[in-house]
Structure 1
Amino acid sequence: MKKIFWIAGEKSGDLHSSIVLKELQLQNKEYQHVGIGGPLMRKFGLKPMFPFDRFAVMGFIEVVKHLFFFVNVEKKIRQLFRENPPDLVVLVDYPGLNMRIAQQASKLGIPVLYFISPQFWAWKFKRIFKLKKLTDHLAYILPFEGKYFDKFGVKSTYVGHPIAQEIEIKIYKKEFAEKYNLDSSKQWIGFLPGSRDNELKKLLPQYLAAIKELDNGNFEFLISRANSVSESLFNDIIKKSGISNCKVIHDNNYEMMKHTDILVVTSGTATLETAYIGTPFIIAYKTSKISYELGK
């Protein structure tokens, strides 16, 4: 049985990759899937090597705090590649780690498919030359990227954006209002505080403070809780805020994004999802002071 090694270090990558794994299952393709991925990929056969939640890190100082973990991850992957190499390596976005793993696989002659290209056109444009050198093929999801790959001779295929398959609105606004006891005569403001616990710690208190300032009786406040964050942490932050007039949405996050009048969205995949759905939104993010100063 052929073995495929995956790295999807973020919630969005886990979701996008799970669609591919599901399709392979439907086609009765017999592969062994190992590597890094979340609960959705595990559902469709991935055998994880490391705890998925340890990879949800963003920002310079935040990565430094987890440096030993990432060094150990790379060490174990290199060992696997040498002693029991997979037939294919599939790298999903997450360029900080994946570009280094692509280099290791390339050195050992292991074929590399990069699924969802790093956004080299926004920053670090020279990455396109590394992609050409280190990958055997690239599956990209934004159509305008193709002109760059064609220009610089990167073997690539446009596969469309996964959100077109992932987003499904299951209930209409009236049913949604009844389910969550919402007043349709008021304006609905929704908040998406992120898919990582460290984002939750920084952003959710800010959103709750905004709710406190805005609460004049004219609004319904909805807060999305992602599956990937700690439920106890989420509830503790809300409890400590003393705010009780907000509705927590867990199972119907896309419906919340669709039916609210405006959203405050933590920067990430959710911003693209919101744009696709069409609801007006504000992008927000908060990082450590050191990461902010370095990024500035």
Structure 2
Amino acid sequence: MLKKELVNWLDTFNNVTVPNLIAKGFKPTPVNAREGLANLTKGLISNIPEIATIFDDYICNADYNVPVRIYNPNPSEKLPVLIYFHGGGHMAGSVTVYDPICRKLAIKTNHIVVSVEYRLSPENPYPCGLVDAYNSIKYIYNTLDSRNINYIRSLKIGGDSGGGAIVASVAMLAQFDDTVVIDKMFMIYPSLDYTMSFPSIVSNGKGYLLESGKILWYFNNYFAHDEDRRKASPIFNEITENIPPTLIFTASYCPLRDEGVEYVSKLKDAKVDVLHFNLDNMIHTFMNMEDLCQEECNFVYEKFNLFLNS
């Protein structure tokens, strides 16, 4: 059953906020998509912890120098590295929006967290963001070395929603690349099927914040040159035992739930170590709505810590 606090919030959102916007002539644009996620996160994550060291830098490469923000919770310790790819449908989200989440990730897991400002559509459509993500994992150590940071050469990657799609896509490429080593990965309600062919896209496609029409709009902006969306989808690509151990969270009232569940099944078939938790009272984007679901967010952070440090 959907958590009461989310029921109440969705009731206002669906029956007051959205109708008022439509009455004023609202039309979705990249600008208001970005503002929407930023305002949601700012309004519903009130606990933003202090952290020892934060600085901005680039991951330099021949394609595009990728801006990153690096969070180090214990600069005197030699810590493992976690690269985080934010959500937002490949169009919204940013290092700034996800700052409170990355602070908590760093503190709760005792990892150096690298938050990646990969390029977004429609200005930079597929595969620009994926290229940035892959270059981030290939060259992150150069950036850390240039800053004389203490780190353990152990790389994990994680992301939510569209960032989860990037995580799975990066792992899909890295399983055939001997120059890239990913030790573990995690995804929160990941987007894994660009063809939108799983049942929960319909059954959870309206009324739960992220709706199927919005997902299609995101994808239409991301794939600007008539690319094969099935071929780009991690769920339909080859999965081998070279995929790193994986932790996946799905949510019962999320339109992406079923593709996440199927991906777990495919990983298990390939003999990949996988751990899956479905939160049966949550919607998509709940990690950006922490004030309404503190217990569930704490549960996720706790599982991150256990998984990444085991």
Q: TM-score, normalised by structure 1?
A: 0.36
Query: Which protein has greater RCO, CA pairs closer than 8 Å, 6+ apart?
Result: 2
TM-score, structure 2 normalization: 0.34
Tell which structure's C-alpha radius of gyration is larger. 1
